[in-house]
Amino acid sequence: MRERINFKNVIQTVFRDYLVLAAIVLLVIITSIVEPKFLTTGNLTNIMRQFGPLIMVALGMTFVIICGFIDLSVSGILSLVAVVTISLIEPLGQVGALIVGMLLGTFCGYLNSVLILASGAMKQAEALFITYGMSTIYGALALIYSGGRTKQMSIVKADTSIFSAIGTGTVGILSVSFIMFLVCLLLLYIFQSKTYMGRTIYLTGGNKTAAELAGIPIKRSIALVYTISGLMTALGAIVLFSRVTAASPVIGKGYETNAILAVVVGGTTLIGGNGSVLRTVLGTTLVILMSNCLNLLGVSVYMQYMLKGAILVLAIWLDSRKQL
């Protein structure tokens, strides 16, 4: 006897797996018709460079959300890492500044997890307020450290060739920052899908109580995802200030919203236990393309903020509907 096809499940699967991809294709087609400059080599290279900072932050955010938490501290971490790293190029050299910057971001992420675990904040809403508070602290430290001034790479007397390569360098048709993203994506995908700790993150996000009863080290999983988020945010900060050749103490403003938008639009569910870094790539691509298209079409920045907010609300609403 032939099995009946459940069209509802088929539609839900297509909606979940291919809607973002269809939106990307549609956006590219419409914009290339309306604005021919969209498909020029210069604009595509610009899109690749814009892609780097956000995707780094969003990839780290993906693991936090899969684990059933949220991280609003990324904007503060990004600002702090940017101003500290650029200021250390002269005394420590490029490599030393890079290492300190990545260690600082990693430590900030780990500190978030320590505070969350110490306070017993095992719910997403509780982690939201703790990381929001930490974002304020990190942002204030960035302002204090920099004296509220933007640090320009052009006035740095030491060699900055590594940062210049990250910001504007290319290997063939690919920008250096895009290659960095591909390497990070590969490593994180292997970690997510092929390792024991990667699987424990999904189990922790799916049901913390059941995971703990099954012997899953949920505290270690929580510490790990926030540490990864801090490290990836530090990489995003380095890519960002290398591209704009300056580090402002508020350079990370708005990145937490865009990262969450990219992750949720990509299909990672906010309740935890389900998601993928590959989906986040699609979500980030849509967010970056949308911003680029709106800029080319002359849409005001304020209208862009409104559209992004509306898309985030819609994405969260659709995510909640999928759980019913």
* 240-298 per-position pLDDT tens digit: 999 999 999 999 998 999 999 899 988 888 888 889 999 999 999 988 988 888 888 88
223: nearest Cα among 112, 128, 81: 112
**Residue owning tokens 């088929």:** 10
The residue ranking higher by pLDDT, 307 or 191, is: 191
Give me the mean pLDDT over the 77-103 stretch: 96
Residue 181 makes CB contacts below 8 A (sequence gap 6+) with 51, 52, 55, 56
Q: In terms of C-beta distances under 8 Å and separation of at least 24 residues, what long-range contacts does 124-130 make, across chains too?
A: 124/68, 124/69, 124/70, 124/270, 124/271, 124/272, 127/69, 127/70, 127/71, 128/70, 128/72
What whole-number distance in Å separates Cα of residue 69 and Cα of residue 55? 19
**8 Å CB contact between 232 and 60:** yes
Phi, psi for 151 (deg, rounded to 5): -95, 120
What whole-number distance in Å separates Cα of residue 242 and Cα of residue 228? 21
Give me the mean pLDDT over the 230-239 stretch: 96
324: nearest Cα among 65, 8, 68, 63: 8
Q: Which of 16-30, 81-95, 153-167 has the highest mean pLDDT?
A: 81-95
**8 Å CB contact between 100 and 166:** no
pLDDT of residue 1: 43
Least confident range from 90-94, 206-210, 214-218, 302-306: namely 302-306
